[in-house]
A and B are shown apart, each in its own frame.
Chain A
Amino acid sequence: NAGVTQTPKFQVLKTGQSMTLQCAQDMNHNSMYWYRQDPGMGLRLIYYSASEGTTDKGEVPNGYNVSRLNKREFSLRLESAAPSQTSVYFCASSEATAGLAGGLLQSYNEQFFGPGTRLTVL
């Protein structure tokens, strides 16, 4: 199993160019996510897809679009790249699990991350 794969690993764009970041998972997970990670900010959710055919905005969706092509693949598109979009982009997937802890049913949702795409916009 490859887990979560992302392409490309590195990319340099000029302001205004467009590109699509690809993500695929082979764990048969329903949920997939796109994050960006910037120094001092932690990971911030851009978009997520709870299941095939659905997508929802996260914390920082502006300037991005997504497509859940099928259960395996979730792509992130930058239509007109800006220097503020220079970041490391991580794709993740998860399958909800649940268990009892302290007498309460709790839902746990481990996310598995891809290796990341380092994007620089000049």
Chain B
Amino acid sequence: RKEVEQDPGPFNVPEGATVAFNCTYSNSASQSFFWYRQDCRKEPKLLMSVYSSGNEDGRFTAQLNRASQYISLLIRDSKLSDSATYLCVVRLYNNNDMRFGAGTRLTVKP
């Protein structure tokens, strides 16, 4: 079983739609959580950290459920520019070893 699992998609949604991505992780000692965004043939870039209490950044909302070892990302009012692959990332506390999910591909269509 992979340490970080994501639905690979692809998710094809119209502009303006709300879309949610889920991620599960297997190591209960994981302490830090992130969503990264990766455009086609580019490097990953941090989208947002995921805080225990959940957090929002504009149209993006991240949630963490430690009991279920589950992370989610909600994108509201999708834009064409949101088309990318979204990577779920977990890290053990004070450990530089970060584990990446394989990513969920999103395409937003006009």
A116 to B98, CA, bound (A): 18
A48 touches B8 (CB 8 A): no
Chain A binding surface, main DSSP class:
strand
A-B CB contacts (within 8 Å), total count: 67
What residues of chain A lie closer than 8 Å to B57, measured between beta carbons? none
Q: In the complex, how many residues of chain A place their beta carbon closer than 8 angstroms to a beta carbon of chain B?
A: 29
A58 to B99, CA, bound (A): 10
Interface residues on B, range: 20 to 34
B53 touches A101 (CB 8 A): yes
B46 touches A110 (CB 8 A): yes
What residues of chain A lie closer than 8 Å to B101, measured between beta carbons? 42
What residues of chain A lie closer than 8 Å to B96, measured between beta carbons? 31, 33, 48, 50, 56, 94, 109
Q: Mark B61-101, 1 if CB is under 8 A from A, else 0.
A: 00000000000000000000000000100010110111111
Least CB distance, A118 to chain B, in whole angstroms? 9
Least CB distance, A88 to chain B, in whole angstroms? 9
By a beta-carbon cutoff of 8 Å, the part of chain B in contact with chain A is: 2, 4, 8, 31-32, 34, 42-46, 49, 51-53, 55, 87, 91, 93-94, 96-103
A43 in the interface, Cβ–Cβ < 8 Å?
A: yes
What residues of chain A lie closer than 8 Å to B102, measured between beta carbons? 40-42
A90 touches B49 (CB 8 A): no
Known: A33-B98, A101-B55. 12 other contacts (CB 8 A): A33-B96, A42-B102, A42-B103, A43-B87, A90-B43, A101-B53, A102-B53, A104-B52, A109-B32, A110-B46, A113-B45, A115-B43
Q: Mark A7-43, 1 if CB is under 8 A from B, else 0.
A: 0000000000000000000000001010100001111
